[in-house]
Amino acid sequence: MGEIQQNRVACSANGRVMVISHLQEILIYSAIDGSPIWRQQCQTEIKSVSANAGFVYALDNSKQIHRWEALKGEIHESLSLPEQPLGMAVSAEGDCAVFSPNHLFLLRDLKIVQSIDRSSISAVGWVDDAGDILAIGDQTGQLWFFEWRMDSGMNLHPAGYLKLNCSVEYIHWDHCQSWVVVAGGEIWQISRNGQKSNKIIDMFQQPIHHLAISVDGNHLAVAVGQQTVLVFRLGKAQIGNPGQFDYQDRTIAGLGFGLDATLFIGLDTGDGNIFDLSTSELTFIRTDPHPGRPLTLWTLSFDLLNVLPNPEVSYDRKSKNPLTAYLATREEISRQVSTKKYPAWIGPILGMIAGLVFGARLAKDLPGNEVLAFAVAIGIGGFAGSIVMLLDLMKRK
């Protein structure tokens, strides 16, 4: 059976705020510049967070679910649940699906409207653009899809079913009319009602700890292990090699996407990085600490050659200044230099220069034959330069 994954990072649906929990604190940052907005303290450690356009939600270890107004955090409401919650999902309208070891609780306006006896639930998710379809996955690999409508007495109505081979770890709606589900190191794309499924990425049993999908549906980010994030470009016939972020001094607490392709990587002490993956010139920032919290540092390296649009333009421009060549690895900069175009006449000139140097050394060793030595050397150099020019012209074609 797979481990129940805790979501300690979330982004609001309107892309304004990033949420991360650290122990008993919930910390809210601007998704634009990483500045702190507000923070709140719970009585016990926070297990999971979520957010929509209007509110931020948190589950803690005292069986409480909390809700704050997203932009200012001024309005605080809480509800005690009958059983210790393990995880949750919040719809765009604010409906909550909270699961515990033996129950599924459905909440509206932070009030329980339905409680269902069901054990072994490991993940839940809502259709973000409607909120009336709920997906439930369990530790045996089963996936159920239900409709939840107000005009049906707030009851769940079966809408589909699917069985996977491993425990369901994550369920996300990808904004392109399908689910993305993680099960046993495999990432699946599944239709709205579960009738169609397609394995899109195989991580070959590597543990996936967190998952996020961009609002535009073009990027999928997963945390592999505790310090590495892989980012895949979706929307292609074949998904290519991912980009990669590696943290050396910190562990990853969670992932989230804001507007378009703004990726938030939350770290273990309640801060993180914000990356804009929508343009070829990558921009990224780190969050500023909340007042009274220490400024922590970390080491980050990354390679996004396969993720950014037209990355070679940005790479060439960045590589001109070694201080700002943060996009390219040393090997990629070397590859660009070695394959850079040069005029066709460079080859013969270099050959002639090489011939002169060779001729000078030969003349020194053969006194009295300087003219013959230079003639032979220049001939060899010119021939070599012509071969270089011919090969270059063939390559250009």
pLDDT score recorded for residue 329: 33
pLDDT score recorded for residue 34: 93
pLDDT along the chain (397 residues), means of 10: 70 88 95 93 94 93 96 92 95 92 95 93 84 89 88 77 94 85 92 91 86 87 93 77 90 90 93 87 87 91 75 35 31 32 53 59 59 63 60 50
pLDDT score recorded for residue 330: 31
List the one residue out of 20, 150, 37 whose CA is nearest residue 93. Answer: 150
pLDDT score recorded for residue 148: 83
Integer Cα distance of 280 and 317 in angstroms: 11
pLDDT score recorded for residue 291: 94
Q: Which CATH number fits domain 9-306: 2.130.10.10, 3.40.50.880, 3.40.640.10, 1.10.3720.10?
A: 2.130.10.10
Number of neighbours of residue 15 by Cβ within 10 angstroms: 16
pLDDT score recorded for residue 75: 86
Per domain, the residue ranges of the chain are 9-306, 310-340, 346-396
User: What Cα–Cα distance (Å) separates residue 275 from each residue in 9, 32, 222, 255, 263?
Assistant: 15, 10, 15, 11, 5
